[in-house]
Amino acid sequence: MERPALPDGLRYARIAGVVLGVFLILTGLRDLLGILPRWDPATVTWPRALLAGNLLFVLTGGLLLLPWGRLMLGEGWARWLTLLSAVAVVFAFAMISEVMAKNYLAQAKGMKAKPPIFQATLLFLVMAQPPTAWFLRRPDLLD
């Protein structure tokens, strides 16, 4: 399949995906190494869940760095798109779980949790990547 010309918006969405991938990898590695972690280690009661979340950050970031333009034009494009979609859904679940955990911890201290701006932004940016990958395969469907 020959690569059709990409609209500017699709190209920008792909660049945003690469930047997001690098950010997720760096954030996950930062937390894994204990450099300015997002969670206070004294409040973490399930360190394995925190480890899994950080590994999910690195996995998701690495997946976003793959050459999606070429992958979506290859023969295994459906498997790659399914993998990206599944990881995006798991990532969304992890971000929602993180917000719920922070609300629970804040409530236990008699405080109100901060608005989940960071988690919501990451959730929506990651969830935008499967449609971006699909439209890399079929840019003619964009209007």
**Could you report the per-residue pLDDT of 76-88, keeping only the tens digit for each?**
999 999 999 999 9
- Is it the case that residue 8 has pLDDT exceeding 80? yes
In-domain check, residue 127: yes
User: Considering all CA atoms of the chain, what is the largest pairwise distance in Å, rounded to the nearest integer?
Assistant: 59
Residue-wise pLDDT for 29-59, tens only, equals 998 888 877 777 677 777 888 889 999 999 9
In-domain check, residue 142: no
Torsion sign over Cα 54, 112, 127, 142: negative
Whether residue 79 contacts residue 55, with contact meaning beta carbons closer than 8 Å, is answered with: no
The structural domain count of the chain equals 1
Q: What is the pTM of this model?
A: 0.88
Domain span at 66: 8-137
- Model pLDDT, residue 91: 97
In-domain check, residue 13: yes
Band (123; pLDDT cuts 50, 70, 90): very high
- Model pLDDT, residue 72: 93
Distances, alpha carbon 105 to alpha carbons 51, 59, 110, 125, in Å: 18, 27, 9, 26
Distances, alpha carbon 97 to alpha carbons 18, 44, 93, 118, in Å: 25, 14, 6, 13
In-domain check, residue 101: yes
In-domain check, residue 143: no
- Cβ neighbors of 130 (< 8 A, separation 6 or more) are 81, 84, 85, 88
- Is it the case that residue 25 has pLDDT exceeding 90? yes
In-domain check, residue 1: no
In-domain check, residue 15: yes
